[in-house]
A and B are shown apart, each in its own frame.
Chain A
Amino acid sequence: MSVSAALYRIYRPVLLGFAGVLVLAEIVFVAVVSAIVPVKFSMWVLVIGSAVRYWLLVVAIILVATNLRQFVTNGITRREFALGAALFSAGTAALLAALMPAGHAVESAVLSLTHRQAADYPSFTALVGLEEFGRILPGLLGYLVSGGLFAAVVYRYPPWIGVPLLIPAAVPLAVSGGLLGFDEYGIPSHPVAYPLALVVSVVVTAAGVAALWWTIRDVPIRRLAG
């Protein structure tokens, strides 16, 4: 079985459970809030969007802190694992990024049909959906890379080197999140023009990937504490 296939099998129940919780939370929140006031912001994009980022951050940490050693001790090379994990996590990120406009579309439609959309609510259109996907995906990739780097520097280096390295490790996360984020209504914020933001984000994330690979390509697999 390939590394990415094995990872999908390991994380599938977690992913499904997580998605289930998100949908449930969304339904409950929208139902509760819209019963009181018209909804001003996209709950799905803002809150669920944040949840998804942090979830992927944690997944990336676990991939490096736990799964790497699991796979290497079963005869997989670090390189094979890195490629498989990259495929798996990027695929999952793309899936979740696509889920954002999809969910937004549903939320928008439901609120519109029940006349609970406030004036400021970011109504869903195909264009809005496309922009959301284009902003969220790089952001998720940045969070993934930073998560991996957090785990990698802490595992490989002694604390006095590892802990300070956490700061540069956060750069992909900060840059992608900052340049391609959303405001409090769920409308994309534009500190810089999208093309520039995208390029910067991609470059920073790619640098993060290179740093991550450099850290784990020959990392020793130490014994677990007895």
Chain B
Amino acid sequence: MIELRGLTVRYGDTVAVDDVSLELPSGVVYGLLGRNGSGKTSLLSALASYRKPSAGSVRVDGAEAFENPAVMRATTFIRDTVDASDQDRIRRVLCLAAWLRPGWDSDYAAKLLDLFQLDPRKRVSALSRGQKSALGVVLGLAARAPLTILDEVYLGMDAVARTAFYRELLADYLAHPRTIVLSTHLIEEVADLFERVIIIDRGRVLLHEEADALRGRGVTVTGPVAAVDEFVAGRTVLGERSLGGVRAATVYGSVPPADVARGEAAGLTFGPVGLQELFVHLTSSSQHLEVAR
């Protein structure tokens, strides 16, 4: 169990993470979603003990995380810019991981290098953007750390490489269950892998729910302006668009089948709202929906 209590991360006057409290049971795949500048990476940095919290605490299985050898050994944090020295050859980077990481699987690492077509003799500086990201993935997966944090590791990877990554991630998670926190902007690509979703916006947690609960949490209502307005009255509206006499509104919350039937009779059409669309609506609206958990 990971507990964030009142976690705050400040850079000078800027508050990147604002009094965040979360309880994250282990062994779950979490999707951490947030816009650029939402405080996502700062939160993950604090979670991984890469940065000391300005206030509040991070506890893993009851123990304070920062500078705690047991916790840090069990945590791996892979960022979009891979933490490896430019001069080193890939072989050397993996060597160091093998020496220091208790759960490191060298055979698996070699298999992954092969999968992503990385030459161990190549220097990190000679790798393309996508290859560096692939190296990050190798480091993240082969460490088999009980807490594996992957922050936008797909940067620069082409669609084929990304597909391979998601497949490998799921396969290894099935074989070696652990806590995985995936931060991504390509929501629709990975959404099916999430068990839980955390949305962070402007330094605060907007929601923390089961992924499946969020699917079907939104409905789009399209039709004549007057009919749409009547239907959405009293409901939470995330956004709306109008063209001439037609309006499309996105409603947050479930709509009972009886209401749907009535709406259809009135000439409205209803559509689903996927996770990515829901995320966009929730984080771009000017009014704040603070659905705290």
Contact = CB atoms under 8 A, between A and B. Distances in A.
A184 interface: no
Given A6-B99, A6-B100, A75 B51 contact: no
Interface stretch (A24-32, A42-50, A91-99, A217-225): A217-225
B83 interface: yes
B117 interface: no
A30 B79 CA distance: 53
Contacts, number: 67
A140 B40 CA distance: 44
B83 A69 contact: yes
B93 to A, nearest CB: 9
Interface string A148-172: 0000000000000000000000000
Q: How many A residues touch the partner, as a band?
A: 20 to 34
Nearest to A218: B52
A194 to B, nearest CB: 40
A9 to B, nearest CB: 7
Interface residues of B, number: 30
Contacts of A76: 69, 72-73, 100
Nearest to A226: B81
Contacts of B83: 69-70, 73, 221, 223-224
A74 interface: yes
B100 A77 contact: no
B285 interface: no
A72 B81 contact: no
Contacts of A66: 85
Interface string B36-65: 000000000100011110000000000000
B52 A220 contact: yes
A57 B73 CA distance: 30
Interface of B: 45, 49-52, 66-69, 72-77, 79-85, 96-97, 99-102, 129, 145
28 contacts: A6-B100, A9-B99, A69-B83, A70-B84, A70-B96, A71-B100, A72-B72, A73-B50, A74-B97, A74-B100, A75-B72, A75-B74, A75-B75, A75-B145, A76-B72, A76-B73, A77-B67, A77-B72, A78-B67, A79-B67, A220-B50, A220-B52, A221-B51, A223-B81, A223-B83, A224-B81, A225-B81, A226-B81
Interface of A: 1, 6, 9-10, 66, 69-80, 217-218, 220-221, 223-226
